[in-house]
Amino acid sequence: MSAGKTFATLPKLAVHLLQTRLVNIMSHGNYSLYEPREMNEENKEHFRTILKNFTTSFPFNPKLFAEELDEA
């Protein structure tokens, strides 16, 4: 089941708490700056969902990122 579908069925507070916990786990668990590893697909999906929710709640000025958007 995808992260978006999983989070869609939960109350907003529960989603916030779960996403906070996922960010904490992903940022502190088995991480090395000198030996980076690719995230597994499930974590990538969770990260995309969290990033989308964050940028929806806190929109950035698109002019600041025009070059990055053109390259993507």
Q: What does the pLDDT read at residue 41? A: 92
Contact 56, 13 (CB under 8 A): no
Q: What does the pLDDT read at residue 12? A: 82
Q: What is the 3-state secondary structure (H, E, C) of 12-43?
A: HHHHHHHHHHHHHHHHHCCCCCCCCCCCCHHH
The rounded distance, in Å, linking the Cα atoms of 62 and 42 is 28
Q: What is the pTM of this model?
A: 0.59
Cα dist. 25→15, 37, 67 in Å?
15, 15, 31
Instruction: Please name the residue that has the structure tokens 């109350």.
Output: 11
Q: What is the pLDDT of residues 19-72, one digit of tens each?
A: 888 888 877 766 677 887 788 898 888 888 888 888 888 888 877 776 665 555
* Domain regions of the chain by residue span: 3-71
